[in-house]
Every structure is written in structure tokens, then in C-alpha cells.
Chain A
Amino acid sequence: MASTLLQIENLNKSFGRVQAAVNINLTLEEGVLTSVIGPNGAGKSTLINMLSGSLPADSGRIVFQGMDITNMPIHRRVRLGLSRSFQVVNVFPEMTVFDNIQLPALAVRNRSRRLFGSLANETAVHREVNEILELIGLSAEAGTTASALSHGDERVLEVGIAMAARPKLLFLDEPTAGMNPLERERVLKNIRRLSEQGRTTFVIVEHDMDIVFSLSQRVIVLHYGEVIGDGTTAEVKSNSRVREVYLGEEVAA
């Protein structure tokens, strides 16, 4: 049975008079590939920022695997297994692809506290990094400097960086932004495959519904900071509120 991974209770956030999150209550289950969608300004980024820890909530509670993380700093959430990727490309440009992935693998192992690790451990980290490179399909580029990658590969690397922290729950903020259809297809396939392996539960944040409909087991729709739709792709597609907001359809009562 799927167990609860993240529980969001009455989460609120406003910027001045703009309400970016209104009483959000959600429960995310382990292993369910979920998408959060909504038009621009719906509060998707605000929600992800609050959950990952870069933005404090005004009120409400966030519980991750039974632990209250509402006021926990980012790096501790990451170490518990809650990570995110960013909407803009965020890699360490001067480092190689390998080093980019090795870094978070080391950071979560708390290796930063030890000046000189034993060689055996190093081999274990190397193996893990290679495994992730294999998973995301960048093995051939291990020695390439990150800034030399194509845009699509950079985004793929980002997913790899996030995976290296061994997250149980991973938020991907518009993982296909700025990609050509071919790259997009590859990234989405990758995400599906990684999700099926079950190590990590993915939550994708997108503004384009078509991208995620084929992929997601569950779709959550946000509008002006409110959850207006939540269910399977089919359920959300037939939800009148969603159709109204998204497709501008006037749904007759």
C-alpha cells in the first residue's frame, strides 16, 4: 500500500494583498508520479518554494514522513530526502558533469565534515555517481564541463544532481522549460523510468498541461493559490472548473 510521504495542512502565503497560497491541504503518496499545474501566477512556484524550504509559509504545517518540517532549513530537508530542481538552469558551470553529481552525493553523506575520506568510501561514491550518470544517460559526458553541455543535457544534469542527494521526494520545477520537442521527449521518458524504479517519488511542476497529462498518475491544478482540481488525468480533464480556467471554456451550468 502506498504510504504518505508529505502532508500539507492549511498552508497559506500572501505577498502583500496577493494570495499565493490559500488554505492548501494536500497529501502526497509514495510512488505516485504527481504533477502540479496551473497558469502563470497560480502559485506553483510559491508552493514548491515553501515545500523545499526557500520560502517561509505564513501559516500551516508541512509534515514529511511524520516529521514537522515547516520551519526546517533547506539543507536539512535535503538530508531528510526532500529535494528540488530549479526552473532556471542551475548547475555548477565550471565543474565537470561527474563533479556536479558527486558534490550532492558527498554533501548528503555528510562527507563535508571529514577532511580526508577513506579510499573505499570514495569508490562507493564513484560507483553511485556512475550509476546516476547511467540512469540519466549522461555517462558519455562524465568528463565534460557542465557549461559545454547543450541546454537539454544541462536540464537532464540538473535532474541528476537532484537525484544524487538520494531524495525520497523530488520536485522538478518545469523540467522541460526551453527544450525542443526531442529533448523534451527524452527528459519525460527519463522521469517516467526513474519514477518506475521507485527510489524517488516525483512531483513535476508545469504550466503546460499537455506535457504532463500523458505522464502523471495524479494531477493537481492550482489557480490563484487555490487547489481547484485534484485527481487522475481523466478526472482533471473533465473537471469543469479546470476547463473554465485553462481552456477559457464557458461551461454551462
Chain B
Amino acid sequence: MDLKSIVHVCLAGLSTGMFIWLVASGLTLIFGVLGVLGVLNFAHGSFYMLGAYCCFTVLSRLGDNFWLGLLIGPLCVCVVGYVIERFFLRYVYRIELPYQLLLTFAFVLLFDDLVKIIWGAGSLGSPSVPGLAGSVPILGRNFPTYSLFIIAVGPLVALGLWILIEKTWYGRIIRAASSDREMASAIGVNVPVLFTAVFMFGAWLGAMGGGLAVPYVGLLTPGMGEAIIIDAFVVAVIGGLGSLKGAFLGALIIGLLSSFGTRFIPTFDMFLTFILMAAVLLWRPQGFFGEAV
């Protein structure tokens, strides 16, 4: 095993990790803010899937412009997020967690079938992205340009979220509402509207992950949301539920781990992620940055 291979396995792991991060960030944000009320959103994988399909449809209708698809597709999913929060989730905040999980899981099944009805059960080929289609030589071996792009996008999203949460009025009020809902409304915050907005933003993040995956995964399938949501959940759990910092770190670790796993012990690839999760939970049940329960 030479240095060249290690660098390439690392790069591949980073790009995988950044995809998981994009999905996990929305999941974590929704859990972190609405987490006071305990919303664990199973349907987040559906946002990823819908994001991918919407992006694909928009770009294939509008002259194969990937960037236009990426702009408009996730916004459509935002509308879906609005409907789910405003007309369904809002009514189960106060009841027990299992009911919320059932409700969001129902949406997973619903959206999977909806995608089959609209786009068909088969897979769709995905387009290549102009400008990012080729590959660049790194240490004498080619690496896909698009993967490099993804590796750059992940930290940018992280930075953007950090600025939003820590440095803006919005972030302050989001943090306040997540720490004490009653208090937030007592100081003049319109909490229901805030929750809807955060949920829509989380849905948008998930859908962006899906949209960015369109050129990457090669195939769009109706079950594509489930695969990534499991990774995203693992990442959110080991990072500490509700912690964006933890989700970012977790995504990096899982991405690298699965990349090295695929390369060296392909038979155990699937196990590695869960072994890591079990180990982390034994060592620190609340995850890296989670608050002790």
C-alpha cells in the first residue's frame, strides 16, 4: 500500500463523508431545534430522495442545466417540508416520541410510492455536470473533479450553518427557542412560525444533498433515501444528537471508515459503521458532543 493509494482512499472517504454530512446536517438541525419537543424525523431521507428527483426533473426539462436544477429542485422540497410541518408534525410535538416516528415513517413509505408513481420504479440515468465532469490527476492518478467539488461544499455548508447559528439574530432566536419554548414566546418570538421555518430549512438541506448526489450516484432509485438516512442517523448519534459539530466530525469518520473498509476489508464494510457506533455508544452514550442524559 503506497502513499498514493492512501491519499486516494482518503479523498474518496471525504467525499462520501461530505454527502452524509449534508443529509445529517438537516437532520441534526431539525432535531436540535425541535428537539426540545423530541422530533426525530425519519422522513429526512425522503427529502434527500425528493431533492434528487426534483433536481433531475428540473434540469432535464430546462436544457440540462444542472445548477438551475440544484437551485429550483430543493426549493420544491421546501414546500413539501412546509406541508409536513404545518399540517402534520405540529400536532404531534406534544405527544410521545413513538408516535412522531410512526408519522414520519408513514411519510417515508408515502414518498417512496409517490416517487414510483411519478417517476416510475426504474432508475434514471443522471447527467454530468459541465465544468466538473472530468477528473484531475492527483499524485499521478485521476480523481473525479465532482468529488473534489463535494469535498469543498461540505465545509462551506458547515461554515454557513455555524455563522447562521452563532452569529446572526436568527441563530440567537433559534437557540433561544430550542432551549426554552415558553420563554421564547414570552419575549415576543413567534415560535410556531420559527419551527416551520427551521423545518423547511432542514428539508432544504436534505434536498440539497439529494440534488448534489444526482451527478454522483449515477442512478436515481426510489429507495435511495433509506440508504443514506441510516448513515446520517449513525452520524447524528455518534456525534451527539442535535450537535452540528458532532455530525460533521461523525460524517468525516464514517466516510473515511467506509472508504478504507471498502478498499481493504470489503466483506466487513457494512459492519464497520455499526461496530463504530456501538463502540462510541458504549464509551460515550451521549455521543461526542451530545449533552449527558
Please list the residues of chain A having a beta carbon within 8 angstroms of any beta carbon in chain B.
52, 54, 73-76, 78-79, 83-84, 86, 90-95, 99, 102-104, 106-108, 111-112, 114-117, 161-162, 164-165
B173 and A107 contacting across the interface, CB-CB below 8 Å: yes
Q: List 26 A-B residue pairs with CB atoms under 8 Å apart, sorted by A's residue number.
A: A54-B182, A54-B186, A74-B185, A75-B190, A83-B186, A83-B187, A84-B186, A86-B186, A90-B183, A92-B183, A95-B175, A103-B173, A103-B176, A104-B188, A106-B173, A107-B187, A107-B189, A108-B187, A108-B188, A111-B169, A112-B169, A112-B170, A114-B169, A115-B170, A162-B187, A164-B187
Contacts of B187 in A (CB 8 A): 78, 83, 103-104, 107-108, 161-162, 164-165
Q: How far is the CA of A167 from the CA of B188 in the complex (A)?
A: 11
Chain B min CB distance to A170 (Å): 11
Chain A min CB distance to B251 (Å): 25
Q: Knowing A78-B187, A86-B186, A108-B188 touch, does A116 contact B176 (C-beta < 8 A)?
A: no
Q: Knowing A75-B190, A94-B179, A106-B173 touch, does A115 contact B168 (C-beta < 8 A)?
A: yes
Q: Is residue B180 within 8 Å, beta carbon to beta carbon, of the partner chain? A: yes
Chain B min CB distance to A188 (Å): 22
Chain A min CB distance to B42 (Å): 29
Contact with A along B186-214 (1 / 0, CB 8 A): 11111100100000000000000000000
Q: How far is the CA of A84 from the CA of B188 in the complex (A)?
A: 11
B interface: dominant SS = helix
Q: How far is the CA of A69 from the CA of B169 in the complex (A)?
A: 28
Chain A min CB distance to B204 (Å): 15
From B173, B179, B182, B185, A112 is in contact (CB under 8 Å) with B173
Contacts of A114 in B (CB 8 A): 169
Q: How far is the CA of A93 from the CA of B183 in the complex (A)?
A: 12
From B172, B185, B194, A73 is in contact (CB under 8 Å) with B185
Q: Knowing A78-B187, A165-B188 touch, does A90 contact B173 (C-beta < 8 A)?
A: no
Q: Which residue from chain B places its CB closest to the CB of A104 in the assembled complex?
A: B187
Q: How far is the CA of A115 from the CA of B172 in the complex (A)?
A: 11
Contacts of A112 in B (CB 8 A): 169-170, 173, 189, 194
Chain A min CB distance to B142 (Å): 41
Contacts of A78 in B (CB 8 A): 185-188
